[in-house]
Amino acid sequence: MEPQILSSYNPATGLEIKQYKSLTAEQVGKNLKKAHKAYTQWRSSAMKERTALLRSVAKSIRKHSDAAALLATREMGKPIAQSRAELEKCAKTFEYYATEGPRMLQDELIFSEGKRKGYVSFQPIGVVLAVMPWNFPYWQVFRAMAPVLMSGNAMVLKHASNVSGCAMMIEKIMKDAGVPAHLYQTLLIASSAVASVIAAPEVAAVTFTGSTAAGRKVASVAADNLKKQVLELGGSDAYLILEDADVAEAARMCLEARMINTGQSCVAAKRFIAVKSVRKSFEAALSELIKQVTYGNPEDPAQQIGPMARPDLRKELHSQVTDSIAAGARLLHGGFIPEGPGAYYPPTLLTNVKPGMPAYSEELFGPVAVIIEAKDEADAIRIANSSEYGLGGAVFSRNRKRAEKIARELLDAGSCFVNEAVHSDPRLPFGGVKHSGYGRELSSFALREFVNIKTVVLG
């Protein structure tokens, strides 16, 4: 593991922000040993100590919120208002676990028969490696970290190289919060070094958020070393607009869900599946709304969309759009690379999207909305489930009971919402099925991913 230079660039200007020197293999080894030592002390901490620490982290996040938000905006292009909102959500998640964590981790009595008693206890397992992406540079990390620390574990972070500044900001936030030395550490390493960290004896488990392709590699190495993993991977969320939907309201929610974070979210709305009877009216409503969406300098609070995180990602997205158009999709808005600096891509709307087109089957990771026509409700459900992904989905209908049945029983996804855009909430488990991964983040389920679910019997 030779040292490498990790560079962060401002995608709005294309200019380099800062270079970071990656750690050597020897430095990583020493840091992992320190993390394991910190874990052996933290695992015995009282719940009162853990909750106090989590509240301190929440306070520190808010203290550094302005500087951290601006850094995220400059490193990956997130509109500044969304960067600030991301950090507040992180703080609230730590407060949630500080409040609810002790109850969730209480022993569960299974039986009590005279002197004989059997119960389940939830004990920490060690150092958890978090391999995280750039699109939500704080939320992805902190939402995984809160339950890890609450359950008595330690964490080391390998962040995406283009947001190394955000990774170091997290380190600063944790240090200022008074987190015990080495209980949390940022490892500045290249992606090529991840496998050796997973294999290290000090690492007990891995949590990964990112592409399905990268998730396969992480899962393979973790499996070879018999280590637990939680994988939150790609998504191509389907939003079903049924014949009795409030079309205007559905269009508004769908557009907001598609354009959040400049469309660079695993759980963003990716496919709008409208039944034939409302397809034209939905298309017209969405087309009118998308024309009003502005894009530009992400440091301007008035802008709704910033640049994409990297020029290569924009190039890939544009190829998916143009290839779909060449195969017969109809472009209603956007679909071009703007002149000038920055990795900007305009809000784009494609319709007449059919099987065989990239826009039909591939994940479009950017501000591109796709409309697919279904013959009827049954056909809409079929199309939604035809994807290899299964992260989230939504149903729009005035018949709430029928929509709930579709969401609960008929859609293949980890999160299904009715008349509302899919989003994460610390109170609710978050994760996917099929090629969107396995395991769950957030809620009580996250607390039980990285613990020894231990049976204890007293005879």
pLDDT digits (tens, 9 = 90+) for 100-128: 999 999 999 999 999 999 999 999 999 99
Mean model confidence pLDDT for the chain: 97
Q: What is the dihedral of CA 369, 370, 375, 379, to 10 degrees?
A: -90
Q: In angstroms, what CA-CA distances link 166 with 54, 63, 79, 213, 307?
A: 20, 15, 15, 24, 18
Q: What per-residue confidence (pLDDT) applies to 453?
A: 98
Tens digit of each residue's pLDDT (9 = 90 or more) over 10-39: 999 999 999 999 999 999 999 999 999 999
User: Per residue in 433-446, pLDDT tens?
Assistant: 999 999 999 999 99
Contact 262/367 with Cβ under 8 angstroms?
Answer: yes
Give the count of beta carbons closer than 10 Å to the beta carbon of residue 426.
21
pLDDT of residue 103: 98
> Residue 246 pLDDT > 90, yes or no?
yes
**Taking 70 as the threshold, does the pLDDT of residue 309 lie above it?**
yes
Where b means 16+ CB within 10 Å and e means fewer, 103-119 reads ebbeeeeeeeeeeeeeb
Spatial contact of 236 and 390, defined as CB atoms under 8 Å apart: no
Q: Let me know: does 422 contact 433? Beta carbons within 8 Å.
A: no
* Residue-level pLDDT at 1: 66
Task: Assign 299 a pLDDT band (cuts: 50, 70, 90).
Answer: very high
Q: How many CA atoms lie within 13 A of 359 on its CB side?
A: 32
**What pLDDT, on the 0 to 100 scale, is given for residue 2?**
74
Active centre residues (catalytic):
232, 266
pLDDT band with cut points at 50, 70 and 90 for residue 84: very high
Report residue 123 as tokens.
Answer: 């004990």
Q: What is the pLDDT of residues 398-435, one digit of tens each?
A: 999 999 999 999 999 999 999 999 999 999 999 999 99
The band of 3, judged by pLDDT with boundaries at 50, 70 and 90, is confident
Model pLDDT for residues 160-194, shown as the tens digit of each residue = 999 999 999 999 999 999 999 999 999 999 999 99
Given pLDDT bands bounded at 50, 70 and 90, which one contains residue 457? very high
Percent of the residues in the chain that have a pLDDT greater than 70, as a whole number: 100
Contacts of 190 (CB under 8 A, 6+ apart): 4, 6, 22, 161
pLDDT digits (tens, 9 = 90+) for 339-392: 999 999 999 999 999 999 999 999 999 999 999 999 999 999 999 999 999 999
- 237 with 266: CB under 8 angstroms? no
